[in-house]
Amino acid sequence: MGDDETLSIILSSVDAFMKRRLPPEEIRRRDENHLPPYDLVPELAEMGLLRAPIAEAHGGLGLPWTSMCRIQERNASHAFFVCSIINRFICFGALPIIAFGSQTQKQEILPRVLAGRTLVALALTEPGAGSDARAVAMRARKVDGGWRLTGRKTWISDADHAELLLTLCRTPAPDGGDQPSYTAFLAPRRAEGVAMTPLAKVGNHCMPSFDIGYDDVFVPGELVLGPVGQGFQTIAGTLKYSRAGVASGVIGTAQAAFDLARAHAIGRVQFGQPVAAFQAIRHRLVDMHVEIVKARLMVRELARLIDAGEAAEEMSSMTKAVATDMLQFVTHHGMQIMASAGYAAESPMQRYWRDARLYTFGEGSNEIQKDIIARSLGLPTQGRARRDMA
């Protein structure tokens, strides 16, 4: 079967799955009750969604990212939280293990990730290390048989449910020097000394966030991911994939918000005519549509570069920033066009609008993306602006 045929089967199965398991009233129920989609993961795995872009040699379907981005757009056009949990399995679980994992990690952990049995949460952010990831203060010290981790991570999505926490720590420089050095660990969530505190927030209620305390947590040596001292490279290696996934997801959400606003503007009559007949509203809808198309074209180009094996650092930053700004624009105007009807709790518009606010600073803020783009343009940078992840 060709890639196009496989893609069209997967897209139809996504639509059927959403109709059956996540109709609009169920999405609202989950959002209002803060219910994550963990119960749906076995079905997502069965549909092949957790391994779609993974090479066949590693147990995946080997679909190109041009297809994966369309799948993620379709998922998020129904429910962004489905796109988000899939992204986590693929980008924080499968891909880092494929790129940097040991043979044992590939044999023992990877199949569980692809089957949806092992969720990996990315634990990078700390109270003092947001955009400035190199300010990570959490430390790991070498002990007999492994490492002991002490510190705190914050705003870690899905951490409580994860089996492994991909945790970046400061470690002594391998050459004994005083340059800061970082290592990535697959810390077991259930290890003694790990404490979770849930964080309350404005939106994205189906993706719970946690503050994590690590109190002298033992991590066996075989759960170090990638070379000791190269934790940044290990985590940064998969950013283009997660940014492509997030950008595709925000396009799906933007399209859903646009479709809702358009239908409302055509059906809502004021002053004896549909509000869509007023040029101010009509042009606003056109601008929203154009912005969505622009962002979608950028995601396609990013996916094409990824499939061609390019580093795509500049393109992934540009696409992430453009797509997430676009979603702000579309949900802001979608809310304006629907007015009270969009602000009502039963309208998905208020959820799109609330949830959208995260993406311009989550997954690496758009200011930091612009610094990455500036760097690739050879522009001088000021101070220590250097985070290029999460």
Return the closest-CA partner of residue 313 out of 384, 357, 364.
364
Would you state the structure tokens that stand for residue 200, as one six-digit string? 């309350």
CB-CB neighbours of 58 under 10 Å: 16
Is the Cβ of residue 66 or residue 230 nearer to ligand FAD in the bound state? Answer: 230
Tell me how far apart the alpha carbons of residues 133 and 384 are, in angstroms, rounded to a whole number. 11
Tell me how far apart the alpha carbons of residues 49 and 6 are, in angstroms, rounded to a whole number. 12
Please identify which residue in the block is written with the tokens 């209620």: 205
Tell me how far apart the alpha carbons of residues 112 and 106 are, in angstroms, rounded to a whole number. 10
Is the Cβ of residue 80 or residue 329 nearer to ligand FAD in the bound state? Answer: 80
Residue 147: CB minimum distance to ligand FAD, A: 19
Residue 159: CB minimum distance to ligand FAD, A: 7
Tell me how far apart the alpha carbons of residues 91 and 381 are, in angstroms, rounded to a whole number. 29
Is the Cβ of residue 223 or residue 390 nearer to ligand FAD in the bound state? Answer: 390
Is the Cβ of residue 27 or residue 338 nearer to ligand FAD in the bound state? Answer: 27
Residues whose CB falls within 8 Å of the CB of residue 101, separated by 6 or more in sequence, listed in order: 109, 110, 225, 226
Q: 8 vs 2, 67, 81, 244, 388, CA distance in Å? A: 10, 9, 22, 20, 34
State the distance between the two ends of the chain, measured CA to CA, in whole angstroms.
36
Residue 174: CB minimum distance to ligand FAD, A: 24
Q: Which residue is nearest to ligand FAD (CB)?
A: 130
Residue 320: CB minimum distance to ligand FAD, A: 12
**Sites of contact with ligand FAD (CB under 6 A):** 121-125, 130-131, 155-157, 201, 204, 209, 358, 361-362, 364-365, 367-368, 371, 385, 390
Is the Cβ of residue 66 or residue 324 nearer to ligand FAD in the bound state? Answer: 324
Residue 369 φ then ψ, to 5°:
-60, -40
Tell me how far apart the alpha carbons of residues 171 and 180 are, in angstroms, rounded to a whole number. 8
Is the Cβ of residue 54 or residue 122 nearer to ligand FAD in the bound state? Answer: 122
| Residues 258 and 334: beta-carbon distance below 8 Å | yes
Residue 281: CB minimum distance to ligand FAD, A: 31
Residue type, 242: S
Residue 127: CB minimum distance to ligand FAD, A: 8
Is the Cβ of residue 239 or residue 303 nearer to ligand FAD in the bound state? Answer: 239
Is the Cβ of residue 67 or residue 365 nearer to ligand FAD in the bound state? Answer: 365
Residue 361: CB minimum distance to ligand FAD, A: 5
Residue 173: CB minimum distance to ligand FAD, A: 23
Q: What angle do CA 319, 97, 359 make, to 5 degrees?
A: 30
